Amino acid sequence: MIIDRYLFREITGVWLAITLVLLLIFTGNQLVVLFNEVVTGDLVGRQVLEMLGLTLLNNLGLLLPFAFFIAILVALGRMHRDSEMIALAACGVGIGRLLRSIGVVAIGLALVTGILSLLLSPWAEYRMQRLVDEARSVTEIGGIPVGTFRSFSAGGGEGVFYVEQVDVERGRLKEVFVQMPGERPLEQNVIAAEGGYQHIDEQTGQRYLILLNGTRYEGIPGQAEFRIVRFEQHAVRIDTRRTYRDPRLRAIPTARLLGTGGLEESAELQWRLSIPFSVIPLALLAVPLSRTSPRQGRYSRLFSAILIYIIYANMLGVARSWLERGETPQFLGLWWVHLLMLLYVVFEVARQSGVRWRLAARGGGA
């Protein structure tokens, strides 16, 4: 138990430090992206912090396994360099004991990562999509930037829409002009309002423009008979399509993916399951990879370990693409990549155990 606590303390300390560094780097890069989206009108300034938090939550499941893999490599590498592993081996702590101790921690982390990957990440992705749609509904009409005359679908015909100004922070439109077909044949309606805002029906997703303090002119062009209606509030349906796009595949709840048999849905589900599962082979592989001699540097095996991780991640991406295109059966999916990784772990462990067995045999013969 003392040895297990010592290993846990050493690895956890390094893991938290690496995770913090990765989060700081990711946060800095993401802030640049988000502020650029604010400038281009894809986001509203007040949404930046929420979008940043959602992005971190969405990607945390990918950062944790990689940070844990590197943490084991660095922590055990230091113990090899300082000859602590030799002392542990003299006490009967071999690679099997190390694998069991680290495997228990890896299973716990896999459960946490599974919650992130299967539950929280899809929710964060969906919420991010809604924020983007809400921001665009403030600064755009039907996907068209404000400030110019643009057409839109209205009442079975085409209308014209113009907005003079937009208060982005308050979500208000100023000096609004609308021309649209009327209820009678050939009738046209012209509306001029001091301001307005957009309202989206949560159930239908239909977009409405709520006009404030304006005048509506109804009549047939070329005829003297027309009607003038002054109003304090008037609703105009902008179009008949849904404002919120259907959720992207990454935003679909995992429970819904379980009930579908499509290739893309199956690939997405297996990808979400692969993220927590990858914690275990990566953690076990880090044990034999961390073996260094006292004369080697602490980070001598780091480059090769990162290269192995990149190959592993890329192979999962390739397997996902093959599954989406139907080139591999669904039961095989992404799991053949994990199987290859586990076989490589067995190879590395057997190779290191064989080296130690030969060294022990030589020592006994002497």
Burial class of residue 267, CB neighbours in 10 A (0-12, 13-18, 19+): buried
Domain boundary among the residues 237, 269, 285 is at: 237
Residues 124 and 159 in one domain: no
> What is the DSSP code string of 105-158?
HHHHHHHHHHHIIIIIHHHHHHHHHHHHHHHHHHHEETTEESSS-EEEEETTEE
Q: Which residues are 217's β-sheet partners?
A: 190, 228
* pLDDT tens digit at each of 366 positions of the chain: 677 787 888 889 999 999 999 999 999 999 998 888 777 666 777 888 999 999 999 999 999 999 999 999 988 888 777 777 777 777 777 777 888 889 999 999 999 999 999 999 999 998 888 887 777 665 554 444 567 777 766 655 677 878 887 776 676 788 888 888 877 777 888 999 998 887 776 666 677 788 899 999 888 887 878 888 899 998 887 664 444 444 578 888 898 888 777 888 899 999 999 999 999 999 999 988 888 765 665 566 788 889 999 999 999 999 999 999 989 898 898 999 999 999 999 998 888 776 554 444 444 444
Task: Please give the tally of structural domains in the chain.
Answer: 2
Whether residue 319 is found in the same domain as residue 211:
no
Q: What is the pLDDT of residue 242?
A: 41
Q: Is the dihedral of CA 108, 110, 113, 114 positive or negative?
A: negative
- The structure tokens listed for 254 are 């995992």
C-alpha of 157 from chain center: 40
Residue pair 195/172 in contact (Cβ under 8 Å)? The answer is yes
Q: Which residues pair with 236 in a beta bridge?
A: 209
From the CB of residue 171, how many other CB atoms can be counted at a distance below 10 Å? 15
If asked whether residues 132 and 252 sit together in one domain, one would say yes
User: Both 321 and 266 in a single domain?
Assistant: yes
How buried is residue 40: exposed, middle or buried, by Cβ count under 10 Å (0-12/13-18/19+)?
Answer: exposed
Same-domain status, 82 and 167: no
Other C-beta atoms lying within 10 Å of the C-beta of residue 104 = 12
90 plus 28 within the same structural domain: yes
Please report the pLDDT score of residue 60 as a whole number: 93
Asked whether residue 194 falls in the same domain as residue 117, the answer is no
What pLDDT was estimated at residue 248?
76
The verdict on 168 and 188 lying in the same domain is yes
Indicate whether 242 belongs to any domain: no
Same domain, residue pair 253 and 360: yes
Determine if the pTM surpasses 0.85.
no
Task: List, in sequence order, the alpha helices (H) in the chain.
Answer: 2-40, 48-81, 84-90, 95-115, 121-139, 254-258, 263-277, 279-289, 302-324, 335-365
Token pair, residue 7, equals 């290993």
Compute the distance between CA of residue 279 and CA of residue 197 in angstroms, rounded to an integer. Answer: 48
Domain of residue 163: give its range.
145-237
124 and 157, same domain (yes or no): no
Q: What angle do CA 99, 101, 107 make, to 5 degrees?
A: 90
> In whole angstroms, what is the distance from residue 205 CA to residue 240 CA?
9
In a domain, 119, yes or no: yes
CB contact burial 117-131 (16+ within 10 A = b; e otherwise): bbeebbebbbbbbeb
The pLDDT score that the predictor gives to residue 241 is 44
